[in-house]
A and B are shown apart, each in its own frame.
Chain A
Amino acid sequence: MKMENMSLSGLDNTKLEALAQDIYSDLVEDACLGLCFEVHRAVKQGYFFLDDTDQESMKDFEIVDQPGVDIFGQVYNQWKNKECVCPNCNRSIAASRFAPHLEKCLGMGRNSSRIANRRIASSNNTNNKSESDQEDNDDVNDNDWSYGSEKKAKKRKSDKNPNSPRRSKSLKHKNGELSSSVNTDPYKYNYNTGINYETLGPDELRSLLTTQCGVISEHTKKMCTRSQRCPQHTDQQRRAVRVFLLGLSATSLPDSNTAVESDGYDASDGQVLMSRLQWDGSSDISPSDSASSKASTNNSDSKKPKKKKKTSLNSTGGGGGGSGSVGGSSSQGCLAGQANRKKPKLPVPPAPSIYDNLN
């Protein structure tokens, strides 16, 4: 085995063959040894186990290849009711109609300038010039201004409430789910629709009536969706409808600042947000979008909104909002806070990290 210099000439074929075979098997052995070392090191350093997976749960991810279902085994076309929150106006929109909504919302469609002009024209009827100062580029008014100032004023006060969880910006944003930094900007006002009170449960009605006029129209039999200062109806009418619908405890009109405690972000879907926006805090909400009105009536079965309403209702009787804001004079007091309104806040995305969803 001692190493020595050897000349290859003069060796016959068999010897050469044997030499080549020797060299070859040495190389193979060395390669195998290398592999052993790799594994040995992996085990010693502790990363050899990374190969292990949970066999059971991996079965859930097997590809399905059957007609009529997708690779997850789901039937086609069951995704009609998906919703999402517009990052611009923070309204909940049906996902399949998000693109046309966004186009108008960002003021980019063919009709947007026409709509905008109409808004500006009707807004000149009220004194809310301060509003236009706070527009940033994306916030084109898709909104009706006729009752804007009062509604905004009320909401602003509730927004300033330090207890309101809405002020929390640290909540995660997830696709299609709720963001807590809800800006309750006035929505596009639709004169045509109202709410059919017969389809709503008592809790919903109570909640609704904290923020809306609610007077039942004789013609349509629907509740008025304007604010509680709606000029078309009198306070007396509003009181009457509350007695009619809720019984005797609702003697005074509750303040519209019942702030929603959004408990951030539970794994709820867009419908829950819809319900919160509808009933709490946004005093001039109207089911402007027919899609969202459909969504709202579907909420009666959802558990979470009911929880919210209950907590906010506890203090309703006394005329204060759920968050403890002062009634009555709130609208005056809030005007100072106008400056921060109307900025659509994009929900803060979490810093992407592979550790986020580790189970």
Chain B
Amino acid sequence: CNGAWLQRKQHTLQPTYYVMSLYPQIMFCFGRARRSSRCGSPAGCSHVNAYKVDNWRPNLRVIYQCFVWSGSAETRRRKAKSCICHMCGAHLNRLHSCLYCVFFGCFTKKHIHEHAKNKRHNLAIDLLYGGIYCFVCQDYIYDKDMEQIAKEEQRKAWKLQGVGEKYSTWEPTKRELDLLRHNPKRRKMTTNCTIGLRGLINLGNTCFMNCIVQALTHTPLLRDFFLSDRHKCEMQSNSCLVCEMSQLFQEFYSGHRSPHIPFRLLHLVWTHARHLAGYEQQDAHEFLIAALDVLHRHCKGDTTNDNGKKANNPNHCNCIIDQIFTGGLQSDVTCQVCHGVSTTIDPFWDISLDLPGSSTPFWPLSPGGDGGTVNGESHLSGATTLTDCLRRFTRPEHLGSSAKIKCGGCHSYQESTKQLTMKKLPIVACFHLKRFEHSAKLRRKITTYVSFPLELDMTPFMASRWASTNYLPPGLYVLVRYALFAVVNHQGTLESGHYTSFIRQHKDQWFKCDDAIITKASIKDVLDSEGYLLFYHKQFLEYE
């Protein structure tokens, strides 16, 4: 079952009964419908068969287009003018149209019922929501063929109105319904439920892997993808990492309490990413990138988009990994002489951010200064924030006389400035705080505290801000808001340390994952932690 759908239904349950009481007719039907559904009778009725003859489809389409879902302004006007009750002139009161002749009658005053009785036209359509009412059954019925037409016409109307696609909730097929009925024990992911949480055994310094697994299994889109069985494996051998990921989700949502032993995962990753293998202590960030890479490579079977085309170009793959994690980083190199800009866009899975305290100076953020900055170390009061790091990442950087770029406009080597900005925001943004310094002089861990927010607005770091013609319309503001859902932390030194993670299960409900031990954590615990890998999820998703 789709957990999100279940959540939604839970919330609508209470008000439903209250609202239903306002409509005694529907309450009656509701009772009848509930009884009939228990008896297993179909949602349609046999009386529509008399209607479904000859040219009924185009006729029905016309009715939907003109009187129910009016797409264009003209049809809307016509509907408003002509759709009134033929008996009392009302245009509200749940107006219905007879399916057999041109008659509009309101439901509330039973004018449509009279018509039905007199003319023996026993089908009518509700002009507000398009439901078909059968006067013999005395109930709204749902016929598959007619609903098909209704849905198509509704989509057309939305397109005409400029609404585009609307989200429709999942509906089980008949087979799924049967299965669900025979298996009544269902796990509902309520806020006080452990389903979805599971410890991971440390296989010998594999805490780096465990943390990444926790983050991935709590990435909502990835979870939905795997729990709805969307992976179709095309690999011949048994070594598909995506299949193993799928199995991992099954394990996490199984309700088992004992920790899972991810030995197969380790074996597969080491087999497919040889450069990673080795029992020395490893870096969680490196593991994340390697794992995403292998998953992306193994996702070949899933890369069909809506048009049915297979997009197998490694740079333009449409697999779930790319859809979720891949962003586009725009690099603009501006020639200082002719001011010509050369732009490239590279895909990225994570953003690695330098920190104050490393050997490369952090402040000032930009050559012009940052409001009273002085060359040197941290000047601002208070802790460095993630936003500071991102601002530094996207600052224009003067490349210096020793790094001249060949300018296409000037046809010679000139000094230039380079700037990185986000062209395409990924659905999940992973920020990597570069705490492990491996420079020629020294190897150390930078423990500078960086404060990071629960919610992040990415607008200031987007490419569009620097393009003079593009701007972010106010309505799209929500599309750049991100919410923190996982944090990977490292305790210890460069040589030896331990990784733990915090993950968010429901809004404001966090858990600490320390290998096999999962405990509840407070938001304060999360925000006070040092932070090494930060995972943010887009809060609102738009359709492509």
Contact = CB atoms under 8 A, between A and B. Distances in A.
Contacts of A358: 179, 183
Contact of A26 (B37, B92, B183): B92
B9 interface: yes
B184 A84 contact: no
Contacts of B140: 37, 40-41, 44
A73 to B, nearest CB: 8
B270 A45 contact: no
Interface residues of A, number: 77
B264 A87 contact: yes
B148 to A, nearest CB: 14
Nearest to B106: A1
A232 interface: no
B83 to A, nearest CB: 9
B290 to A, nearest CB: 14
B229 A353 contact: yes
Given A47-B172, A352-B231, A39 B20 contact: yes
A70 interface: yes
B187 A79 contact: no
A173 B180 CA distance: 25
A119 to B, nearest CB: 19
B267 A88 contact: yes
B184 A54 contact: yes
Contacts of A30: 128
A355 interface: yes
B448 to A, nearest CB: 31
Contacts of B185: 53-54, 57, 359
B34 interface: yes
A71 B520 contact: yes
Given A36-B20, A36-B26, A103-B278, A175 B264 contact: yes
B223 interface: no
Contacts of A106: 267, 270-271, 277
Contacts of A175: 247, 251, 260-264
A48 interface: yes
A197 interface: no
A100 B23 CA distance: 69
B320 to A, nearest CB: 14
B185 to A, nearest CB: 5
Contact of A359 (B9, B128, B183, B206): B183
Given A48-B37, A71-B511, A98-B266, A355 B279 contact: no
A47 B128 contact: no
B26 A348 contact: no
Interface string A46-63: 111111111001101111
A15 interface: no
B227 A354 contact: yes
Nearest to A356: B250
Tell me what chain A mostly uses at the interface: helix, strand, loop, or mixed.
Answer: loop
A357 interface: yes
Contacts of A70: 199, 517-519
A287 B188 CA distance: 46
Contact of B10 (A51, A62, A173): A51
B441 interface: no
A47 B171 contact: yes
Nearest to A69: B519
A174 B9 CA distance: 34
Contact of B88 (A1, A53, A97): A1
Contacts of A16: none
Interface string B153-189: 0000000000000000001100001011101111110
B432 interface: no
A65 B519 CA distance: 7
Contacts of A72: 194, 257, 518
Given A32-B19, A72-B194, A359-B185, A100 B279 contact: yes
B270 to A, nearest CB: 6
A40 B181 CA distance: 19
A103 B229 CA distance: 32
A95 interface: yes
A50 B261 contact: no
What are the 6 closest A-B residue pairs judged by CB atoms, nearest first?
A99-B204, A352-B246, A72-B257, A103-B279, A2-B89, A98-B203
Interface of A: 1-3, 26, 30, 32-37, 39-41, 43-54, 57-58, 60-63, 65, 70-72, 74, 76-77, 79, 82, 84-88, 93, 95-103, 106, 108-110, 138, 173, 175-176, 346-349, 351-359
19 contacts: A33-B128, A34-B129, A35-B16, A40-B26, A46-B37, A46-B43, A46-B181, A65-B520, A72-B518, A79-B199, A95-B203, A97-B204, A98-B204, A99-B266, A99-B279, A101-B204, A109-B278, A349-B247, A352-B229
Given A51-B6, A97-B204, 5 more contacts: A41-B43, A58-B193, A61-B187, A97-B203, A349-B243
